[in-house]
């Protein structure tokens, strides 16, 4: 999900598209990856950066995952059609089961994106697992090709996100020209480093189908006949495609926060625009409910007016402090986190920072919403997001269509429509050809035991898409959390949700009904103390 996008940027999901398999059914027997035989994995102590990253999850459960995590590297073909050609290296982690005797299995996990780092998602999932799950299963994390600790790591322009960026605007000639030039330059920088003619043509081999083939290679390297899998956000799309291309290799598969397989990817952003607008207005209503805490207005409309007034003001002059700045884009990107997840830390932090701005506390406001003004930042996630999205399937190449659709949607959903346009606009200029989309579910031997989880008011992957996927994955079961606005609901503190997850992995037990419903936990209340930091909110965001 990061979003379908990425929280730090605007609305992407962390979604992506699909790859090179044809539109007809496919199977492991006919897929080009069948010819490649990986080396066995050699597990060893992890490098310090990975161990230190895992320490963030030590407090989530009784087991300090940073003390038990193991690492391995796996070489896979850049192009599975040429298995003996150039290779890329995937970074894997294993957080081992704590039970005596052999593990029940290995659960491969992916956090979404595309572009989300997965090596450290493994210890996170393990730490959040129940004691019974920790006793039974090893959890395998992996950084997909081009991402994180895998090599090479794809970056294109580390100064791209320096603040303040040009205002997203509403489709005017000046903002369009500025952003079209900016996104074209970014696509050109990526092509120069990673496109055809470069030392390693990664851009032509970083589609969803490439990562799906990598997942099957990981299965082989683990020595498993079947793949057990948990995928969140865009990770659900990886699961969908895997189940279609390698249907007989699916063991137990959980998909959480589900991508609509028929809206990959252009239509997915339009779905998000409407859903995020709905959620941010709900959040404004929550802020108004606690006007005695935030003092931004005692009605939803008043908070709405304050926010959009502030956005307009920042478009005229950004606010800066300690080498960071907040312009209109940074404001929208930051508060979008609250539309991703219903959480006390997240909801309070962003509301409190708006309140701080109103009282003249610029340091707190910029500390929460600000982005560095110089020096650049790691654009790995953004680079891979575009590399996957832009080549999974063909985006419209007509700017007139993009503009007309955005103008139409923006009339009723103004919150992040134009931000989403510019987040995805590099696809207008991308320097690699798009592939053909895998038709999810159209294969013989489609597994009938896939378990799905979904909140009805998830903005990153809207509920209608989960219903579509449930229909396409015939025989799947769906757990729905009614009224919840959280993107991905497993391990979010709901015992009813997690009990279905555990019963499935531990015993193979699916819900008795095709679809079951659980209630949301309820909206948060502001904490007694207002000393929460932005870091506490950011740590809860699902990518």
* Secondary structure (3-state) at 257: coil
What's the pLDDT at 173? 97
The span from the CA of 7 to the CA of 179, in Å, is: 19
Q: What is the pLDDT of residue 510?
A: 98
**DSSP secondary structure letter of residue 436:** P
* Close Cβ partners of 121 (under 8 Å, ≥ 6 residues apart): 109, 110, 111, 141
Backbone φ and ψ for 112, nearest 5 degrees, come out as 110, -155
Q: Of 379, 378, 380, nearest to 150 (Cα)?
A: 380
Q: How far apart are CA 497 and CA 294, in angstroms?
A: 32
| The model scores a pTM over 0.85 | yes
Render each residue's pLDDT in the chain as its tens digit; 543 residues. 433 333 333 333 433 222 222 223 344 445 667 889 999 999 999 999 999 999 999 999 899 999 999 999 999 999 999 999 999 999 999 999 999 999 999 999 999 999 999 999 999 999 999 999 999 999 999 999 999 999 999 999 999 999 999 999 999 999 999 999 999 999 999 999 999 889 999 999 999 999 999 999 999 999 999 999 999 999 999 999 999 999 999 999 999 999 999 999 999 999 999 999 999 999 999 999 999 999 999 999 999 999 999 999 999 999 999 999 999 999 999 999 999 988 899 999 999 999 999 999 999 999 999 999 998 889 999 999 999 999 999 999 999 999 999 999 999 999 999 999 999 999 999 999 999 999 999 999 999 999 999 999 999 999 999 999 999 999 999 999 999 999 999 999 999 999 999 999 999 999 999 999 999 989 999 997 443 333 344 344 433
DSSP-derived letter for residue 4 is B
Rounded distance, CA 102 to CA 184, Å?
52
B/e letters for 481-510, b = 16+ CB within 10 Å, e = fewer, are beebbbbbbbbbebeebbebbbebbbeeeb
pLDDT at 32: 66
**pLDDT given at position 252:** 98
Run of H or E including 387: helix 380-392
Task: For the sheet with 250-256, list strands across it.
Answer: 44-45, 70-77, 87-95, 137-143, 105-110, 227-232, 250-256, 451-455, 477-482, 515-519
Helices and strands (DSSP H and E) totals, the chain: 18, 13
Model pLDDT, residue 33? 76
DSSP three-state, residue 482: strand
Q: What is the DSSP letter of 255?
A: E
DSSP state of 282: H
Whole-angstrom distance, CA of residue 37 vs CA of residue 332: 47
Check residue 478 and give its pLDDT.
98
User: Computed over its alpha carbons, how large is the radius of gyration of the chain?
Assistant: 22
Q: Which residues are catalytic?
A: 233, 458, 487
């Amino acid at each position: 999900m990061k979003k379908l996008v990425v929280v730090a940027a605007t609305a992407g999901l962390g979604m992506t598209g699909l790859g090179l398999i044809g539109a007809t059914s496919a199977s492991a027997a006919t897929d080009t990856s069948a010819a490649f035989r990986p080396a066995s994995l050699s597990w060893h102590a992890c490098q310090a950066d990975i161990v230190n990253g895992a320490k963030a999850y030590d407090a989530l459960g009784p087991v300090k995952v940073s003390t038990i995590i193991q690492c391995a590297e796996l070489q896979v073909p850049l192009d599975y059609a040429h298995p003996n050609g150039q290779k890329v290296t995937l970074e894997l982690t294993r957080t081992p089961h704590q039970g005596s005797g052999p593990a029940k299995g290995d659960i491969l996990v992916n956090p979404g994106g595309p572009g989300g780092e997965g090596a450290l998602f493994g210890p996170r999932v393990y730490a959040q697992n129940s004691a019974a799950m920790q006793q039974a299963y090893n959890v395998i994390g992996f950084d997909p090709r081009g991402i994180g600790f895998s090599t090479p790591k794809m970056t294109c322009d580390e100064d791209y996100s320096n603040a303040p960026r040009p205002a997203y605007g509403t489709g005017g000639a000046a903002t369009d020209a500025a952003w079209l030039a900016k996104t074209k330059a970014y696509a050109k920088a990526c092509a120069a480093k990673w496109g055809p003619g470069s030392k390693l043509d990664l851009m032509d081999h970083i589609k969803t189908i490439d990562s799906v083939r990598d997942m099957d290679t990981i299965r082989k390297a683990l020595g498993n006949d079947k793949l057990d899998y948990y995928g969140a956000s865009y990770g659900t799309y990886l699961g969908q495609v895997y189940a279609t291309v390698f249907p007989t290799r699916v063991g137990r598969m959980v998909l959480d926060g589900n991508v609509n397989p028929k809206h990959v990817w252009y239509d997915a952003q339009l779905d998000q625009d409407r859903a995020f607008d709905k959620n941010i207005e709900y959040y404004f209503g929550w802020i108004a409910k606690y006007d005695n805490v935030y003092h931004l207005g005692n009605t939803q409309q008043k908070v709405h007016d304050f926010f959009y007034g502030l956005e307009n003001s920042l478009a005229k002059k950004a606010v800066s402090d300690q080498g960071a700045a907040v312009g209109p884009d940074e404001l929208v990107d930051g508060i979008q986190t609250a539309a991703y997840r219903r959480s006390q830390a997240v909801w309070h932090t962003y509301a409190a920072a708006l309140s701080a701005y109103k009282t003249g506390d610029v340091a707190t406001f910029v500390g929460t919403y600000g982005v560095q003004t110089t020096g650049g930042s790691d654009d790995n996630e953004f680079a891979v997001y575009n590399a996957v999205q832009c080549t999974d399937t063909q985006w419209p190449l007509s700017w007139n269509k993009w503009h007309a659709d955005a103008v139409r949607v923006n009339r009723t959903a103004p919150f992040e429509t134009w931000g989403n346009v510019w987040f995805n606009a590099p696809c207008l200029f991308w320097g690699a050809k798009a592939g053909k989309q895998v038709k999810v579910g159209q294969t013989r031997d489609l597994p009938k035991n896939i378990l799905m989880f979904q909140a009805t008011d998830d903005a990153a992957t809207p509920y209608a898409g989960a219903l579509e996927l449930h229909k396409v994955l015939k025989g799947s079961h769906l757990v729905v959390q009614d009224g919840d606005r959280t993107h991905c609901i497993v391990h979010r503190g709901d015992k009813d949700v997690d009990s279905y997850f555990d019963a499935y992995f531990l015993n193979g037990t699916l819900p008795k009904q095709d679809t079951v419903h659980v209630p949301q936990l309820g909206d948060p209340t502001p904490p007694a103390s207002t000393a929460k930091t932005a870091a506490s909110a950011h740590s809860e965001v699902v990518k």
